[in-house]
Chain A
């Protein structure tokens, strides 16, 4: 049963436009992530928040900006999309410090940049 919800599931846009992806988790977790999955299925961590605080910020272009209003929500804004931004963006959550460290993923938001 899905407990990490992402919207939209698909988005097609033109180069230079702005895009936002939303993520909400209902698991009571306090740590959330954005991963980028490219066409070769490679999974790369982009950002992580713990209790609304940015704790992981990998080397991504500055047009990407995460936003967290509370520990259950983590959004991703892309200010001016480029063709190489076409990918599936996966949101995930976990409980900080838990022994299992298991990540729970949403179904992904697929971005196509024309």
Chain B
């Protein structure tokens, strides 16, 4: 069945460190891939949509890449700040059935 796997449960960094979060997906359909961010006390919100294989999306200093060959997609940021502390989810929509699956989330803690 369809699934999204996000292995990193928690990542702790210092300001200006490099962030890299990886997800893999499995589907028989044609997926649309996303990254969502959830700040404390709020609902998740879209950070990036990754629409084309081997192309990058970018927003707020974050970049997302998608590799169709390895069925993986990544989120990265060159220099994280304390305000980036949040939970980051990868997500996949299978276009054939409109379910949207979320990875388990990565809790990012950025220390000043």
Contacts and interface: CB of A to CB of B under 8 A. Distances in A.
Interface residues of B, number: 22
Contacts of B99: 45, 48, 56
Interface string B44-55: 111001000000
Interface residues of A, number: 26
A105 B44 contact: yes
B107 interface: yes
Given A56-B98, A96-B98, A108-B43, A101 B105 contact: no
Contact of A4 (B38, B43, B46, B104): B43
B106 to A, nearest CB: 9
A56 B89 CA distance: 21
The listed residue with most A CB atoms (<10 A of its CB), out of B34, B43, B105, is B43
Interface in A30-48: 31, 33, 35, 40-45, 48
Given A42-B105, A48-B99, A101-B34, 9 more contacts: A43-B89, A44-B102, A90-B44, A100-B49, A101-B93, A102-B34, A103-B44, A104-B45, A107-B42
